[in-house]
Copies of this chain bind each other. A is one copy, B any other.
């Protein structure tokens, strides 16, 4: 393996100069730089990240902690982040929790991240106070994507508002009995979105003068199967809702499936609306509140890179806009529906 020494010997200069030239630092004559580059190229020199990391204390690597990559939302955020990191020459270390509590424990508790990465992106998880303590002890920029965490750098949508938009859409269509499918408001994979969305839903109902019925709130665990089950229970009630708002498109898709199983037509018998604008949403004709997923990854990565570049950078809270996308799973309430 050819090292910086070989290049230095080749151009008859010190390794310090070669290092400077290679990294494009100032204070190197144009001619020297050119000679170094040429030599490095010719010798097939490839820098050693380990050595550079050891000497500089920087790994040029960013950790991305994600609940489950197989969920489209997370994959899309990762993709967005990867793009901007790669552009800046940073590598992306993926930590996939896959719903496994012990995996989460390992990532946060043991200092898996210490001395490994320059910054961390945490997707849709709300670190516990203990985990937060560990994260800040890392002494590295951390950005939370998709969750609210005052005092920390975050990139997200206004979940309360998104839920309100979805619910209002249903109310505007004349629906009064509106079911809600959400997720645990606490737990291993701890999001803040679930509770914010529930709040948005409840607020709109209240404002509309509809008394909210706890029986109409079900837990779909943010998965398709969970949404299906939750919808099944909701739609089999004698006083079944004429519309269902699912806090994620995946749960909404499950709800669609449940409706079909029960022989209910969508949107004639029951309206369904979700949140995300999942890539599959249009193929289900799903009405939803779209959020800029990919963009959240990009912004988050940009944010940690900025923090890395600027010593007195203060955490920002970025909120990206959402937009109602009306497709064909929602319609005006039929006179007979929902009693």
Contacts and interface: CB of A to CB of B under 8 A. Distances in A.
Top 6 nearest A-B pairs by Cβ distance? Answer: A50-B53, A50-B54, A46-B114, A46-B111, A69-B75, A48-B115
A314 interface: no
Nearest to A78: B69
Interface in A105-131: 106, 111, 114-116
A6 interface: no
A201 B259 CA distance: 36
A70 interface: yes
Chain A interface residue number, banded: 35 or more
Contacts of A69: 69, 75, 78-79, 82
A75 B82 contact: no
A193 interface: no
Interface of A: 1, 44, 46-51, 53-54, 59, 61, 64, 68-70, 72, 75-76, 78-79, 82-83, 86, 91-96, 98, 103, 106, 111, 114-116, 224, 253-254, 256-257, 279-280, 283
A96 B76 CA distance: 11
Contacts of A1: 115
Contacts of A283: 224, 253-254, 256-257
A92 B94 contact: yes
A54 B64 CA distance: 24
B91 A93 contact: yes
Contacts of A224: 279-280, 283
